[in-house]
Structure 1
Amino acid sequence: MFSQRLSEAAAAVEAHLALVMEGYGTLPVVEAMRYGARGGKRLRAFLVLESARLHSVEAARAIWPAAAIEAMHAYSLVHDDLPCMDDDDLRRGLPTVHIAWDEATAVLAGDALQALAFELAAHPGCGPPEVRAELALSLARAAGAGGMVRGQALDMAAETAVEPLTLAGITELQAGKTGALFEWSACAGARLAGADIAPLSAYAQGLGLAFQIADDILDVEGDAAKTGKAVGKDAAAGKATFVSLLGLDAARRRARDLVESACAALDPYGKRAESLREAARFVIAREH
């Protein structure tokens, strides 16, 4: 059930993003936008669509914030890959945007994808004005200096810090860099319905941290052919991660515990939330 729904979510968002960007023409920056937004698991979009289904929100409304979060995620990847950030040459098995084009085009493509994310979150297709305003406001908070950007800034600062990050420091960093967009995604359906976001927020906090621990494990044990990006970079840079601080076995246990707590947070929804529980289990079992 989960794998089929994940594939369906990915296809729906791919089609929606293609439709939205259809009228943008063929300037290099537009082609770079399309390239940067291509592929991926679309897990964040899946969380939007599934949380909407959980609250009986029609897919025609949910597809807008689902596409919005993927545009926001794509922008973050395009910028993270730049030489001034993580300096990566490979993403999803292909050259990164600044390699395929140039740095200036990559910056502009990322900027445009971020703007597109807010356009989609505030689109009339999402529903009443108050719903669209809440989606855009919460997305700004999740993506900005109190969320994803804060996490990235803490990550960059840690590279030159005298003292390595502690476990608490890494947890705080990743709650912003990775977790904030996961939390927004999982709560989007409740926001569309005007419902309580607390259970889905708790679920996403566990899922997001488990996802990052799994990423840290893949950086140690992963195969670049499967992950579609370079591996072993954290260790080579002497970077503190969940694995470097906890060890592989303890990191795996921590990830499993987080998944269990995430699944428990869905108890108010009963069996209707089973696909979201499967998503939590998926994040620590994946190979890319």
Structure 2
Amino acid sequence: MTPDAFASRLDRAAAAIEAMLARLIDATPRPGETLRPSRLVAAMGHATLGGGKRLRPFLLVETANLFGLSDEGVLRAACAVEMVHCYSLAHDDLPAMDDDDLRRGRPTVHRAFDEATAILAGDALLTLAFDTLADPATHPDAAVRADLVLRLARASGLGGMVGGQILDLGAEGRWSDDHRPLALDDAAIRRLQAMKTGALLRWPLEAGAVLAGASRDDVARLGRFGDIVGLAFQIADDLLDVEATPETLGKATGKDAGRGKGTLVGLHGVAAMKAELARLTAAAEAELAPWGPRAAVLLAAARFVAERRK
């Protein structure tokens, strides 16, 4: 698949995800709800709508397509992971966390609104993600919905993304007596990044296969592919923090080094991590080999992650 063809497919999926997100995050109360406050709806929309690559939902959509499934339920599940991702960004950007003013070239949620609203918007997005997955409109089989919910809870929570975030803050020296950054080794950095970033990139690969009724072996293989993509994404992100400009990236750069944050790029250097990205791309291709040309879009996604410039 050519880069232009992949970009076109990514853009089409992003448009479909955007439309479904707008439907899910609107002011109309659902059964069991009393009122959807307008300020909260607006802040949730600011966090989720109007930008972003939509990579995580795209991976879910294309994985389901790999097994011949393409319906509204797939889009709903894809929106669930995007809501979790966007909630995490709204909270990560807060002064108590990364203290960022820009996200996707726009003011962060706490800058556009205020800190309390940003916290509550993130809380509401996280809750709405699980509401969406648990709804029979996503899949008629309750066992499938429960599987998706359990997998996402573990990918995004204590032993996944949130756990990775607190490890990351601890590595900055937040809770050490002298507040000096910790010197993490390669294994510790990979574990932290697998939790903070990788888990939420693995979930859509597994979820797309679960929705489509794929075998346990296929779900596991796609999970391994997701682990590879997650590591490649984080390495590429760390390279961008070193090499890109704020104008290109749409957010501040150089902040990892400024905080003394442990990254594989900081530990091993730029050249070594560019070589690692090439190795990861080859490993991703090997995991997709059983599906041959049918997996061309997912392989293009792995290459896109490794080669992205913003």
User: Which shows bigger deviation, 152-161 or 103-112?
Assistant: 152-161
- Give % identity: 52
Distance 2:87 2:135 in 1: 19
Q: Which amino acid aligns with 1:281?
A: R
- Pairing 1:96-115 to 2, within 5 Å after superposition: 96-115=108-127
Q: Residue 50 of structure 1 aligns with which residue?
A: 62
- Higher Cα Rg: structure 1 or 2? 2
Shift of residue 58 of structure 1?
2.4
Alignment of 1:83-94 (within 5 A): 83-94=95-106
Q: 1:246 aligned to 268, 274, 282, which one? A: 268
Cα deviation per residue 1:67-99 (whole Å; 9 max; x = unaligned)?
101101000000000111111111000110011
159-168 or 103-112, larger mean C-alpha shift: 159-168
User: What is the aligned residue count?
Assistant: 288
Other structure's SS at 2:261 match: coil
CA deviation after TM superposition for structure 1 residue 190, in Å: 1.0
Counterpart for residue 220 of structure 1: 242
CA distance in 1, matches of 2:183, 2:100: 22
Supply the distance in 2 between the matched residues of 1:103 and 1:27 (Cα, whole angstroms): 17
CA distance in 1, matches of 2:63, 2:48: 22
Q: Is the 8 A contact 1:64 1:123 kept in 2?
A: no
Tell me the distance in 1 between the aligned counterparts of 2:119 and 2:26. Answer: 21
Runs of 4+ in structure 1 off by over 6 angstroms are none
The Cα shift of 1:59 comes to 2.5
Residue pairs, 1:118-129, within 5 angstroms: 118-127=130-139, 128-129=141-142
1:182 alignment partner in structure 2: 201
- TM-score, reference length from structure 2: 0.90
- State how 1:197-216 maps to structure 2 within 5 Å: 197-216=219-238
SS at 1:126 equivalent: coil
Residues 199-237 of structure 1: CA distance to partner in whole angstroms, max 9, x if unpaired? 111111111000000000000001111111000001112
2:148 corresponds to: 135
Output the amino acid matched with 2:95. P
- TM-score w.r.t. length of structure 1: 0.97
Alignment-derived partner of residue 257 in structure 2:
235
SS of equivalent to 1:256: helix
Note if contact 1:52-1:59 (Cα within 8 Å) is conserved in structure 2: no
Unmatched segments (≥5 aa) in structure 2: 29-35
SS of 2:184's partner is coil
Structure 2: distance between partners of 1:186 and 1:5: 17
1:125, distance to aligned residue in structure 2 (A): 2.0
For the 8 Å contact 2:27–2:37, the answer to whether it is kept is: no
2:208 maps to amino acid:
G
CA contact (8 A) 1:53 1:59 kept: no
Amino acid at match of 1:208: G
RMSD of aligned alpha carbons: 1.2
**Using the alignment, how far apart are the partners of 2:212 and 2:262 within structure 1?**
40
| Partner Cα separation in structure 1 for residue 25 and residue 232 of structure 2 | 33
Q: How many angstroms apart in 2 are the aligned matches of 1:169 and 1:252?
A: 20
Matched with 1:9 is 13
Superposed CA offset, 1:40-81 (max 9, x none): 000001000000001111222211110101101000000000
Unaligned 5+ segments in structure 1 are none
Whichever residue aligns with residue 264 of structure 1, its letter is A
